[in-house]
Amino acid sequence: MKLRTRLIISFCIIIFVPVVLAGAAMWGFGQFQMRTIRQAYNMDGNAYDYLTNSIKVLSHFTKADYEALQKVAKEEPEKLENQDYLDEVNRELAEKYSYLIIRKGDNLIYGADVNTDVSKKLPEYAKESAEGGAGVYVEGEDQVILKQIDFTYPDNSEGTIFIVTSMKQLVPEVKKMMIDIAISVVLILIFTAGMLTIWIYRGIINPIHKLQGAAQNIKAGNLDFTLEVDGKDEISELCQNFEEMRLRLKESAEEKIASEKENKVLISNISHDLKTPITAIKGYVEGIMDGVADTPEKQDKYIRTIYNKANEMDTLINELTLYSKIDANRIPYNFKRINVADYFNDCAEEVGIELEAKNIKLTYINYVDADIQIIADPEQLRRVINNIISNSVKYLGKEQGFINIRVRDVGDFIQVEIEDNGKGIAAKDLPYIFDRFYRTDASRNSATGGSGIGLSIVRKIIEDHGGKIWANSKEGIGTIMYFVIRKYQEVIN
């Protein structure tokens, strides 16, 4: 889930969920408390009607007391002068936020000191304000509901009972309901905040912790771990990018290690292969200096040998230079339009002289029309042919060897085949012969030494020409190297 969507949902939850849950809690507590209020105060009908009319509900509290005092005033008015009786009634009224005032004639004989402001506003005798003890509202600093009962004492004096109820008080059950609702709202907010915190923590903080751990691993140089990514939000995308970066860093580190290893192998191979001709050159030079080559024929032989060994060294150095250019993708190509028949005829003549000196028979066959052309670098393409043939000669291992060169037309390409009757290549080694530093045999000697990069250079040059190279071989029979290069075709508008 996108972070923007997550924030929108969180906002909606924060706004609406507490409102809905608080409303449900208020409705539930209201139903329960209204039922309790009806039972506690013996209210008829809907308790909500009483709560919306504070005078009605507060007046209802003292309904039973009013009726009892009304009966006493009618049947036993003398009790209304009994201090103990009046104190008992007043204690009961106090539990209902009310108190008692008794007036005889113009004098207050009970409760006169309770509220002087109310005492001054008491109605006159025979001014009972409402039927059934509903009571009347009296304004002032202390707002009250006043119930009045007029009666006559045994001595025929006028008397009045006043039940005064304060409107500042709330019904205890309503208080409890408000407290319960407040607690419920707080709990709902805590619950909603907690759930949102957990949701956001799992969606945001956990991936950040994973990223932090991954960064610590990379900082410590450890790239062998996996950053697991779940989800499709922005942070998950960041984790995915971080994982891809780790893989690239790991790949780069592995390539660097492999490159360093290859360089060490190359230096080792070049050192070994340079040491062999240098040792031979030193030996023959010492022979000349010591007079061992005491005849013109021996001197000529020694000098030719020194020359050949110097050529071997030059070839190795050229391969090393070309290898460094290949590694940096900086091979200097000079592409030209080349006639296939003419070019490969010249190549065959050139290598034929060298092979004849080594008692190796060369056969060259051209199946391509005389006007077929290709776009290629003549020097680098010649390097390809020389590297393949020198590799064949190196591993020929037979007294009577032969090498066949065939050039064929295969549609949009020309195909060159170089075949030898050498010892061949094992099937398990064949897929790897174009890899750098790969050797089909682990042994090295002066006859089969080399840098191990000759065929890898060949593949690189052919691929840079837009072609392809491969090989077929049978052990004990020989090997055929194939490569193809696209023909030159003029575009007609």
CATH number at residue 305: 1.10.287.130
Q: How far apart are the first and last CA of the chain?
A: 55
- Tell me how many domains the chain contains: 4
In a domain, 89, yes or no: yes
Instruction: Give the residue from 297, 330, 363 where a domain finishes.
Output: 330
- Which residues, 6 or more positions from 53, have their beta carbon under 8 angstroms from its beta carbon? none
- Which residues, 6 or more positions from 101, have their beta carbon under 8 angstroms from its beta carbon? 108, 110, 111, 112, 114, 118, 119, 122, 161, 162, 164
Residue 370 tokens, joined? 């005389």
Q: Is residue 77 within 8 Å of residue 159, measured between CB atoms?
A: yes
| Residues 269, 319: Cα–Cα separation, whole Å | 12
In a domain, 209, yes or no: no
Residue with tokens 């840098």: 451
Q: What is the pLDDT of residue 409?
A: 94
**Residue 323 is part of which domain span?**
223-330
Q: What is the CATH number of the domain that holds 62?
A: 3.30.450
Q: What is the pLDDT of residue 130?
A: 45
Residue 23 shares a structural domain with residue 58: no
In a domain, 212, yes or no: no
Instruction: Give the residue from 275, 301, 330 where a domain finishes.
Output: 330
Question: What are 98's strand-pairing partners?
Answer: 165
In a domain, 191, yes or no: yes
Q: What is the pLDDT of residue 41?
A: 53
Residue 278 shares a structural domain with residue 148: no
Residue 476 shares a structural domain with residue 354: yes
pTM for the whole structure: 0.48
In a domain, 22, yes or no: yes
Instruction: Give the residue from 299, 330, 361 where a domain finishes.
Output: 330
Residue 386 shares a structural domain with residue 445: yes
Residue 422 shares a structural domain with residue 364: yes
Q: What is the CATH number of the domain that holds 448?
A: 3.30.565.10
pLDDT tens digits for range 98-132: 888 998 888 888 886 666 677 777 888 875 444 44
Residue 17 shares a structural domain with residue 88: no
Going from the C-alpha of 325 to that of each of 210, 267, 274, 329, the distances in angstroms are 42, 16, 20, 6
Residue 127 tokens, joined? 């001014």
| Residues 31, 16: Cα–Cα separation, whole Å | 23
In a domain, 84, yes or no: yes
Residue 340 shares a structural domain with residue 449: yes
Residue ranges for the chain with pLDDT beneath 70: 1-7, 11, 15, 29-30, 32-58, 112-116, 127-135, 137, 139-142, 168-177, 203, 231, 266, 269, 323-330, 437-452, 491-493
Q: Rounding to the nearest 10 degrees, give the CA dihedral for residues 88, 91, 95, 99.
A: 110
Tell me, what amino acid is at 357? A
Residue 77 shares a structural domain with residue 45: no
Q: What is the pLDDT of residue 405?
A: 95
pLDDT tens digits for range 198-228: 777 776 777 788 888 888 888 888 888 888 7
Residue 131 shares a structural domain with residue 36: no
Tell me, what amino acid is at 487? K
In a domain, 210, yes or no: no
Residue 340 shares a structural domain with residue 462: yes
Residue 291 shares a structural domain with residue 354: no
Question: What are 376's strand-pairing partners?
Answer: 336
Q: What is the pLDDT of residue 416?
A: 95
**Angle at alpha carbon of residue 280, lines to 279 and 282, rounded to 5°:** 65
Residue 183 shares a structural domain with residue 34: yes
In a domain, 218, yes or no: no
Phi, psi of 438 (to 5 degrees): -80, 135
**Angle at alpha carbon of residue 119, lines to 132 and 128, rounded to 5°:** 25
